[in-house]
């Protein structure tokens, strides 16, 4: 579905936008799926939530690649050099990668929504519990295995830190293309205030959809320019040799039932 002016209005019924993959019929357990709509007035302030402590070493940045769902910036997670702790977390988690989800136009693209409000894109910084497990693959099936920081993107001024990443995208246009990417500090993608967040227990938002994630969704968004986000849309879902090339857009999952979960907030 091409995005034209009328279709792009935020009133446009989202169900007509084709998500990137068919939802599986049965999901294991399936009562703590992600993403969700965060209803601000139903979130519960928890004074026991501590400030988040990120400690990222840009030297652990290794590569950027197109996995056919999104583009990922991967970090060396064989040592405790880039870590996340504090907030709702009991253990220390290691950064393994970050990636984004976005729409075909600026009216939608995020996975989480806030009071049904959609953002043009969402950043996910993925970490795994290195106090309890030895590998990401082990942690991804455990309910305290992963911690993902979600940051909403809004269209505004150009994000200087993001530009290095945007400049690398044309080189990884096709699925399975990889390029070396070093010395990128993911902290530059966090909003100024990381003390205000919502947190809840959920899942990966793409297969295998395992319910292993402590989600930490930032209240404050970051701004990127219209042109920077347009470069995200120049990526392709398809590999170079495929006949029909498909633009990598709308790579987000729709919101899932809350199933009685409580969303806690670190702020009043």
Ligand X SMILES: NS(=O)(=O)c1ccc(NCc2ccco2)c([N+](=O)[O-])c1
Residues that bind ligand X (CB under 6 A): 97, 124, 126, 140, 148, 204-206, 208
Closest approach of ligand X to the CB of residue 214, in Å: 12
Q: Which is nearer to ligand X, 20 or 155 (CB)?
A: 20
Q: Which is nearer to Zn ion, 124 or 221 (CB)?
A: 124
Size of the site for Zn ion (CB under 5 A): 1
43 binds, among ligand X, Zn ion, none (CB under 5 to 8 A by kind): none
208 binds, among ligand X, Zn ion, none (CB under 5 to 8 A by kind): ligand X
Closest approach of ligand X to the CB of residue 208, in Å: 6
Closest approach of ligand X to the CB of residue 141, in Å: 9
Q: Which is nearer to ligand X, 101 or 174 (CB)?
A: 101
Q: Which is nearer to Zn ion, 104 or 122 (CB)?
A: 122
Q: Which is nearer to ligand X, 9 or 138 (CB)?
A: 138
Q: Does 124 bind Zn ion (CB under 5 A)?
A: yes
Three-state SS for the chain is CCCCCCCCCCCCCHHHCCCCCCCCCCCCCCCCCCCCEECHHHCEECCCCCCEEEECCHHHEEEEEECCCCEEEEECCCCCCCEEEECCCCCCEEEEEEEEEECCCCCCCCCCEECCECCCEEEEEEEEECCCCCCHHHHCCCCCCEEEEEEEEEECCCCHHHHHHHHHHHHHCCCCCEEECCCCCHHHHCCCCCCCEEEEEECCCCCCCCCCEEEEEECCCEEECHHHHHHHCCCECCCCCCCCCCECCCCCCCCCCCCCCCCEECCC
126 binds, among ligand X, Zn ion, none (CB under 5 to 8 A by kind): ligand X
Residues that bind Zn ion (CB under 5 A): 124
């Amino acid at each position: 579905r091409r995005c034209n002016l009328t279709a792009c209005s935020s009133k446009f019924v989202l169900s007509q936008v084709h998500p990137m993959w068919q939802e599986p019929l049965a999901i294991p357990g399936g009562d703590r799926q992600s993403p969700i709509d965060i209803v601000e007035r139903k979130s519960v302030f928890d004074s026991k939530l501590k400030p988040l402590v990120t400690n990222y070493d840009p030297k652990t940045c290794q590569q950027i690649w197109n996995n056919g769902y999104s583009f990922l910036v991967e970090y060396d997670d064989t040592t405790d050099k880039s870590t996340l702790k504090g907030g709702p977390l009991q253990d220390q988690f290691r950064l393994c990668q970050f990636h984004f989800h976005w729409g075909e136009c600026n009216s939608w693209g995020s996975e989480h929504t806030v009071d049904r409000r959609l953002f043009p894109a969402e950043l996910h910084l993925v970490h795994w519990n290195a106090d309890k497990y030895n590998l990401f693959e082990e942690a991804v099936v455990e309910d305290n295995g992963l911690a993902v920081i979600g940051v909403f993107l809004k269209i505004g001024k150009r994000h200087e830190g993001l530009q290095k990443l945007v400049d690398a995208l044309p080189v990884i246009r096709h699925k399975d293309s990889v390029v070396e990417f070093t010395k990128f500090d993911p902290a530059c993608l966090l909003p100024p205030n990381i003390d205000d967040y919502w947190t809840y227990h959920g899942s990966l938002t793409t297969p295998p959809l395992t319910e292993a994630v402590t989600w930490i969704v930032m209240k404050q968004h970051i701004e990127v320019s219209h042109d920077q986000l347009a470069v995200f849309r120049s990526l392709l879902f398809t590999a170079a040799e495929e006949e029909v090339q498909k633009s990598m857009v709308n790579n987000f999952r729709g919101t899932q039932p809350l199933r009685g979960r409580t969303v806690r907030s670190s702020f009043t």
